[in-house]
Amino acid sequence: MELTILMPCLNEAETLAVCIRKARKFLEDNHVDGEVLISDNGSTDGSPDIAEAEGARVVHAPVRGYGGALITGCKEALGRYVIMGDADDSYDFLNLMPFLEKLREGYDLVMGNRFAGGIEPGAMPWSHRYIGNPVLSFVGRVFFHSHIRDFHCGLRGYNRESILALNLHTSGMEYASEMVVKAELNGLKIAEVPTTLKKDGRSRPPHLRSMRDGWRHLKFLLMYSPNWLFLYPGLFFLIAGLIGTVVLLSGRHVLFNVSFSINTLLYFAFFIALGFNIISMFLIVKLYAYNHGFLPKKDIDWNKRLKEDRFIFLGLLAVIAGIVLSIVAVSSWKTTGFGELDPEVTMRLTIPAVILIVVGIQSQLSGFIMSIIKVKSNGN
């Protein structure tokens, strides 16, 4: 069989029949060997019976949620290609040839673009049309070097085997992002075609919850982009902290009639510790994601690149340096009979000493965590 038209379904009795009729008409009119598959997600309104009466095949998804229904549907599909779309009569199931043609050309994933095809008045809330979708799609394009303009279009086609190989697992609305992100990360061939969106035919509110599901999409994009979540913020804090600390270690500085001294130095030192901690988390996450299949194993072997013993050894050196500076500070304190000290002088010793010790301990702990991840990944 060439094509499965897959619809996730949760209480869609009002619109399910018309969607199935349109999908079957598309198959018949275009002489496509295919099926209409309904992945039911626990409907209580008789939707499965309606689907079977309309000639569709019904499977029951054991995991609740949009992603759960589509994952089950993809596994149960008989077609080489799958075109998925919501069963609320908002997508045009009569006009699926642009998707199928791209799939026949060899594309692994074909995304619909509602902004290019046309959005009927009232079909999409203004907050989704002008804020949510554009912002999340922009973030996705920047994070993953993607050309997709509509990350969350629910009408899309794909090569079944290619998508199954991605091992998609999210059960909620973020499944839409997971498919695009993993397809980009794994180098699948992706195309985008214009499609239309009209106001759905349901009398009840949609299952989508703007704030909750928007946050789940954004969180997913961040989780799969450790560079933006960890590396770039960490580098910013670390570099800013190092520059500020080096400048202020030489003494007080005045800029625009504002005096910067040891109090500012303390914050810059905090930036160093914070930046180093975030970068350590980036390396640990990268190693974990590499070994557990969240990120594809290509280009860089993170097991070989990250030498945990170096982190432990360099951390030990940093701790020793911090202790030495602390001893120097205590020695200068001793010369006063352990009396009053000039903070402008002594804090320029004690602050770097404390930061070296903190960063050194963090480096050693990171090295041990990396070792644990590698042991687990090797099954030893």
- Report the C-alpha gap between 79 and 1 in whole angstroms: 5
Which of left, alpha, beta for 251 (phi over 0: left; psi -120 to 50: alpha)?
A: left
Residue 356: which of 244, 242, 264, 237 has the closest Cα? 242
Q: In 62-94, which positions are buried (b, 16+ CB within 10 angstroms) versus exposed (e)?
A: eeebbbbbbbbbbebbebbbbbbbbbbbbbbbe
What is the model's pTM?
0.76
**43-66 pLDDT, tens per residue?**
999 999 999 999 999 999 999 999
Half-sphere exposure of 190 (CA within 13 A, CB side): 23
Residue 304, pLDDT score:
75
Residue 255, pLDDT score:
79
**Average pLDDT in the 80-105 region?**
96
CB contact set of 259 (below 8 Å; sequence gap of 6+) = 252, 253
Check residues 373 and 368 and name the one with the higher pLDDT. Answer: 368
**How is the beta sheet containing 34-40 ordered, strand by strand?**
57-60, 34-40, 3-9, 81-84, 156-159, 109-113, 190-194
**Average pLDDT in the 184-199 region?**
93
The rounded Cα 209 to chain-centroid distance in angstroms is: 19
CB contact set of 360 (below 8 Å; sequence gap of 6+) = 314, 315, 316, 317, 318, 319, 320, 321, 322
Asked if 41 and 10 touch (Cβ cutoff 8 Å), the reply is yes
Please report which confidence band the pLDDT of residue 380 belongs to, taking 50, 70 and 90 as the band edges: very low
Kindly state the DSSP code that residue 54 receives in the 8-state scheme.
T
Residue 47: which of 6, 89, 87 has the closest Cα? 87
**127-142 pLDDT, tens per residue?**
877 887 888 888 888 8
For 328-332, which contacts have Cβ atoms below 8 Å and span 24 or more sequence positions?
329/353
Asked if 37 and 72 touch (Cβ cutoff 8 Å), the reply is no
Q: Provide the angle, in degrees to the nearest 10, between the axes of the packed helices 232-249 and 262-291.
A: 150
Q: Provide the angle, in degrees to the nearest 10, between the axes of the packed helices 210-223 and 175-185.
A: 20
- Report the C-alpha gap between 70 and 52 in whole angstroms: 18
Q: How far is CA 364 from CA 12, 154, 316, in A?
A: 56, 46, 7
- Report the C-alpha gap between 17 and 223 in whole angstroms: 38
- Report the C-alpha gap between 331 and 305 in whole angstroms: 41
The Cβ of residue 335 has, within 10 Å, a number of other Cβ atoms equal to 9
Please report which confidence band the pLDDT of residue 298 belongs to, taking 50, 70 and 90 as the band edges: low
| Architecture of domain 3-223 in this structure | Alpha-Beta Complex (3.90)
Asked if 351 and 269 touch (Cβ cutoff 8 Å), the reply is yes
Residue 234: which of 194, 280, 190, 197 has the closest Cα? 280
Which of 12-16, 191-195, 262-266, 332-336 has the least mean pLDDT?
Answer: 332-336
